[in-house]
Amino acid sequence: MERELADAALPYTSGAQQGVPASIKHVLAALRTALADGDQEALAELGPELAATAAAPQQLPDDAEGRRLADALHAYNTAVSAQTIVQPAAAQPAVDSGPVLDDEDHAAAEVELQPGDEEDEPESAPFPALKILKEAVGRSKMHPIPVISTEERESGPWPLISERMDGEPRWVHPDVTSTRVPYIREKDGKRVRRDQLDVPPDVFGEGVLCLIDRNGSYPSACSGVPLAPNKLLPTGPLDAFDKTRAGIYLIDVPEWPRRDMPHPLGRIIDRPDEQGRVWVTTPHIKLLARLVREGHLAAIPAIHDSWTGKYNESLFKPFYEAAKEA
């Protein structure tokens, strides 16, 4: 019950939403910190203040987040009121009244990720990437949401987002033959398979083969990735792309007339919905807009649906600068 209360309060304790009195925000933020740290002593000390907060009438926002928080406070107050036998503080059970697990059970149990669960790299780490990223998020004035809970990931915009590596380059020019062939690695002598490209000289003539550094490109991309670090809201069909917002957009797959370059949406186009539409991100929309300006596309596809938030492209700037220096 404490966990649900903390999760319901997350939009307000994270700063993503406003409209809750500072006194309530303070105690609920302390609750989430205590739960994340597994600090039973702090949870016990918060008990009376939580009970008083849940019992007091509150003026909360009349929206989905506000109603969820109100329901969680009401449920907590009902549970506390139903406890007719008050035990001494020293004898109170832990907040989590589920079965006690031994070390092996704890290791196997699936625990929802909470802010602060990740361990920073040791001080001796040559490049403390996670620490730099967390500090960048913590300094942001846009109040980034540090964790998307399991419940939230199963609703709203999150099921629409794929984690497939759609950006990985696998395109080969239609006049070039790509074949997987055996190869002996020089460094360890292991037998592996690699792509061998048969490039007809009469098609391209003399030229240069350009290899794409797939593994090392992400630090550079972090220097200007456009995203919405705060809450995504449903903004529906759009007449035009709003440059002040970022998120995901449902569009028709634009026709790509060129043979010498892959489709600008990559392998996303391989999985359209029943109406031939795909969900894309802000960088995709910006790329399509540039291709229109340069005359490679006739027009930007219509945006049939969208989930967006306030635009930002400097959230990971400290990480980019540190990675570039390293």
Q: pLDDT digit of tens for each residue in the chain (326 aa)?
A: 888 888 888 877 766 667 777 667 777 877 877 787 677 777 877 788 788 888 876 778 888 888 888 888 888 888 877 664 344 333 333 333 333 333 333 333 444 556 666 677 787 878 888 888 888 888 888 888 877 777 777 888 888 877 665 656 677 888 888 888 888 888 888 888 888 888 887 777 776 666 655 555 667 777 777 888 888 899 999 999 999 999 999 999 999 988 888 899 988 888 888 899 999 999 999 999 999 999 999 999 999 999 999 998 888 888 888 888 88
Residues 163 and 312 in one domain: yes
- pLDDT of res. 135: 87
Output the CA torsion sign for 178, 180, 183, 187: positive
Q: Is residue 19 included in any domain, yes or no?
A: yes
**Number of other residues whose CB lies within 10 A of the CB of residue 137:** 19
Residues 157 and 284 in one domain: yes
| Helices and strands in the chain, H and E counts | 11, 6
Listed residues 57, 92, 108: the one ending a domain: 108
Residues 192 and 294 in one domain: no
Could you give the CA distance from residue 280 to residue 268 in angstroms, rounded to a whole number?
8
- pLDDT of res. 166: 61
Residues 205 and 277 in one domain: no
Q: Is residue 264 included in any domain, yes or no?
A: yes
Could you give the CA distance from residue 26 to residue 311 in angstroms, rounded to a whole number?
28
- pLDDT of res. 89: 38
- pLDDT of res. 277: 94
Matching residue, tokens 């229109």:
292
Q: Is residue 324 included in any domain, yes or no?
A: no
Residues 207 and 227 in one domain: no
Closest C-alpha among 313, 122, 114 to residue 225: 313
What's phi and psi for 55, nearest 5 deg?
-80, -25
Q: What domain range is 181 assigned to?
A: 177-211
Q: Is residue 133 included in any domain, yes or no?
A: no
Residues 160 and 292 in one domain: yes
- pLDDT of res. 90: 37
Could you give the CA distance from residue 84 to residue 87 in angstroms, rounded to a whole number?
10
Residues 157 and 182 in one domain: no
What's phi and psi for 252, nearest 5 deg?
-75, 150
Using DSSP's 3-state secondary structure scheme, residue 250 falls into: strand
Residues 49 and 159 in one domain: no
Q: Is residue 139 included in any domain, yes or no?
A: no
Residues 162 and 272 in one domain: yes
In the chain, what is the straight-line distance between the N-terminal and C-terminal CA atoms, in Å?
45
Residues 36 and 182 in one domain: no
Q: Is residue 265 included in any domain, yes or no?
A: yes
Instruction: Give how many domains the chain has, as a whole number.
Output: 3
Q: Is residue 128 included in any domain, yes or no?
A: no
Matching residue, tokens 């109603």:
67
Q: Is residue 143 included in any domain, yes or no?
A: no
Residues 312 and 188 in one domain: no
CB 129 within 8 A of CB 121: yes
Using DSSP's 3-state secondary structure scheme, residue 293 falls into: helix
Residues 281 and 261 in one domain: yes
